[in-house]
Amino acid sequence: MKTKIAYIGKSCVACGVCVPVCPKSALQVEKGVRAVVDVEKCVGCGKCERSCAAAVISIAERRAAV
Ligand code: SF4
Ligand code: SF4
């Protein structure tokens, strides 16, 4: 089964807005540099994508087979 997850683009400014939006607590801001997605928690709901003012989040099919 193909599942979707969030991908954070390189232009993330680590503002942290997306972190509390995620219902699965799958997002964290790593070292103030950029947001990272916990691929085990993310369900691809897209809420973070809509919250990101910088529009750097995309929802796509999971690339690696798990
Ligand atoms: S809202 Fe967008 S720019 Fe801000 S931390 Fe999340 S992914 Fe990065
Ligand atoms: S797509 Fe949904 S579950 Fe995945 S990181 Fe974004 S808000 Fe969280």
Q: Which residue has a Cα nearest atom 8 of ligand 2?
A: 22
Asked whether residue 59 carries a pLDDT value surpassing 80, the answer given is yes
- At residue 64, the pLDDT reads 63
Q: Is the CB of 15 under 6 A from ligand 1?
A: yes
Q: Which residues lie below 8 Å from residue 50, measured CB to CB, with a gap of 6+? A: none
Ligand nearest to the CA of 60: 2
Tokens standing for 4? 């979707």
Per-residue model confidence as pLDDT tens digits over 12-25: 999 999 999 999 99
In this prediction, residues 49-63 reach a mean pLDDT of: 95
Asked whether residue 61 carries a pLDDT value surpassing 90, the answer given is yes
Which of these, 16, 28, 10, lies nearest to 52 by C-alpha position? 16
Q: Is the CB of 56 under 6 A from ligand 1?
A: yes
Q: Is the CB of 48 under 6 A from ligand 2?
A: yes
